Amino acid sequence: MWYQNSAFAIACAAMLAACGGGGGGSDGGAVQTMAFSFPGGTEVAIPPEVASTTLKATASSGGPVTFTSNTPDVCSVSGDKLSLLKAGECSVTATQAGFEGYAPVSQRQLFVIPKRPHMVSFRNPGAQALDSQPVALAAVSDLGRPVTFSSSTPTVCTVSGSTMTKVGNGLCTITAQSDGGDIYATATMVKNIPIGTEKAPVLTHFSGFKDASTTKEGGTINGYAGVNLNGWWCNGWCDQVLSEDGNNLKFTFNVKLDKPNDGSWIGGYYGLHVLGAGLKEISKVGPMISGVRIDSQASMKFRIAQNAEWINTGNNTVNVDLVLGHFALKNGKDACNVTLRSKVKPATTDATDYTVSLRDVTVAESCGLSDINTWNELQDYPIVQVSFNADSMNVSVSSTPLDKPTYPTRITLTGPITFQ
């Protein structure tokens, strides 16, 4: 019987010692527990400022809790204030030394203090002929720190300092890197430069249609139109239809008059938005990071068709707009995204493949910003939306008898939209 009691006592003592993360009945007190909230997530501050956070822990005994830093070179403690001195792993221990019959208890939190973001801007010099002409590389850190270049494709190109040497046909992959030190993260930017006969990789804005309002990639497709005669909106005059085979989408706006046109002015607008993968709308509050990012791609390819009536007006130019993730407040108050533009003018109702040069796009919307370089914009910001809109919609050539004319404006879009 003595043996059984002794074994039971030993088991209890072992169990109590394991409770509470470091305190228990071995000190003759009741076991207590510690709740220590996770203090992580705050970035290190920019010197001479020091980021701090308040530590929060409670012991089940209700006794006072003290905090100690186990990594004082990374983070320091004064009372319940934790100061983040530099990026790295911070370890803090919360301790209750024993209170009103309870044994001591402690608990440790280990977390990472993240470095602050750091960005390198590195513009692609574009496709290069395979010759002995060296190529100067240029990149800048937003902190003004040094930037180094390296090649991961030495059989295609090599780098010495900021000069690239062409070695063979292929895709030259260059990385620009800038060390951020103790406060900032290391920043990298990779560019792929076609050498000789090599072409840039194909980037796909959308590959096809899931339904009449969504791409296969989950981007929203939205037709928009209106005239002064119907409240400047569709109001039953729009039709957005996917073909039975799912290959093309027709967006039509029909201006319908119930009597012959007396020559009165008709003003209107018309267009079709195709957003990038997974995007439902353009942000109204800040820049966007999703979308197609142009690297060495030099052109955009797409297929559209127009209706005969619109072509017959002679004013059937289509604006092809690239809406970027570059956000700004126009006039200090209106949400705006920088938009670049190219133009095409169909000469036939047949579906036609078009290729537009990205080097030749112009600025359609500057959002009040000055000195916009279109190639730099394409390098620095993603394309979040491609829009096809009427430079001048059809308000003169009818598809019905002139006693009740209908003026249709229609674009038929066939996927995909690609960049190469």
Per-residue model confidence (pLDDT) at position 15: 29
Per-residue model confidence (pLDDT) at position 188: 93
Per-residue model confidence (pLDDT) at position 198: 96
The residue-averaged pLDDT of 400-408 equals 96
Check whether 324 has a pLDDT greater than 90: yes
Q: Is the pTM of this model over 0.75?
A: no
Alpha-carbon distance of 297 to 202, in angstroms, equals 8
Alpha-carbon distance of 281 to 273, in angstroms, equals 10
Query: What sign does the CA torsion over 418, 248, 252, 310 have?
Result: positive
Across the chain, what does the average pLDDT equal? 91
Q: Domains of the chain (ranges plus CATH)?
A: 32-113 (2.60.40.1080), 120-198 (2.60.40.1080), 204-419 (2.60.120.430)
Dump pLDDT digits (tens) for 166-189: 999 999 999 999 998 888 999 999
Dump pLDDT digits (tens) for 254-292: 999 999 999 899 999 999 999 999 999 999 999 998 999
At residue 16 the predicted structure's pLDDT band, cuts being 50, 70 and 90, is very low
